[in-house]
A and B are shown apart, each in its own frame.
Chain A
Amino acid sequence: MTETLLGQAAQWLDDGRQVALATVIETWGSAPQPVGSQLIVDQDGNFEGSVSGGCVEGDVVSAAMDVMDSGEPRVLAYGVADETAWQVGLACGGKIRIYVEPLGA
């Protein structure tokens, strides 16, 4: 059976790692990953899965580590990459919203 990301998250939890889950909940325009796409992150910043074409993963991973610390879910939103968003943005011109939550407990 094809392994799922959630199955892998459960495995990570069993291994005693802290895990956060990021899920694409809304997309507008040409977003590279459909709604429901997911990324899991552990306390050391190791991650699996994808929520964009790689444009915002770095930022999502650091937000996920904050979420693990605080225990509180967060909603992230990313838009088009312009000068101000040069650090983090979607080059494809789409917009996405991502829900980041701690797993386990």
Chain B
Amino acid sequence: MNRDLIDQVLSARDTRRAVATVTSIAGGVQRIVPRDAVAGDPLEEALSEGFRFDKSGVHALEGEEYFVHIHNPALKLVVVGAVHIAQSLIPMARAAGYDVMVIDPRGAFATGERFPDVTLHDEWPDEVLSEGDLDARTALVALTHDPKIDDPALRMALDSECFYIGALGSRRTQASRMERLKASGALQDALARIHGPIGLDIGARGAPEIAISIMAEMTRALRLGE
């Protein structure tokens, strides 16, 4: 890979644009294909399936082998609530390749001391998030327990393509949350996208184990679409 190609792939990553590199395995010739330029490409089918399923692989074309390497935008985790569970969840998410952003309008919570190396926003979720922030490679977890903060974030997530939406709270909290969101106009089908109580039921105790259960549920949603 020459320097120009490396820089193009890195810049696509920085700007959250999906690209693929195609390498002719025998000849070593390489090119880059942006996702929005797939139509009409000799490897169109391999490319579009690859982007869709986030799957790289070798494809044959006219007796030659090509390696199609999919570079989808990095996974992103939006954490609403700079709470104790977030402190456990964030390092795990980063290890799994997520870029993390934390939102909490309560200034005392979202401090750099409690959350080093993370993008912090001490504003309201609907002030920080725009439509483009919640794309199909993004997960959102609402962890504050405070409807004034969680609900606007969940409403935005429901209107987006994000692949996972989780909300912390007991079954009872969850039921009243659903009632509020329904009253505010969310559809029943859309509400079913919210995972709550959040996390796989693995009997988690304490923040680190709850974070593991959330990571597991997010991973299942990402890889199995469940």
Contacts and interface: CB of A to CB of B under 8 A. Distances in A.
Nearest to A9: B6
Interface string A39-81: 0000000000000000000000000000000001101000000
B29 to A, nearest CB: 10
Dominant SS at the B interface? mixed
B25 interface: yes
Nearest to B6: A10
Interface string B1-31: 1110011011001100000000101001000
A25 B25 contact: yes
A21 B58 CA distance: 17
A104 B3 contact: yes
Interface residues of A, number: 23
Contacts, number: 58
- What range describes how many residues of B lie at the interface? 20 to 34
B99 A13 contact: no
Nearest to A27: B57
B13 to A, nearest CB: 6
A20 to B, nearest CB: 10
A52 B223 CA distance: 20
Interface in A8-41: 9-10, 13, 21, 23, 25-26, 35-36
B7 A10 contact: yes
A103 to B, nearest CB: 6
A101 B28 contact: yes
Contacts of A72: 28
Nearest to B100: A2
20 contacts: A1-B99, A2-B94, A2-B97, A2-B98, A4-B74, A6-B9, A6-B10, A10-B3, A13-B3, A13-B6, A21-B1, A23-B67, A35-B55, A35-B57, A36-B69, A97-B58, A99-B67, A104-B2, A104-B3, A105-B2
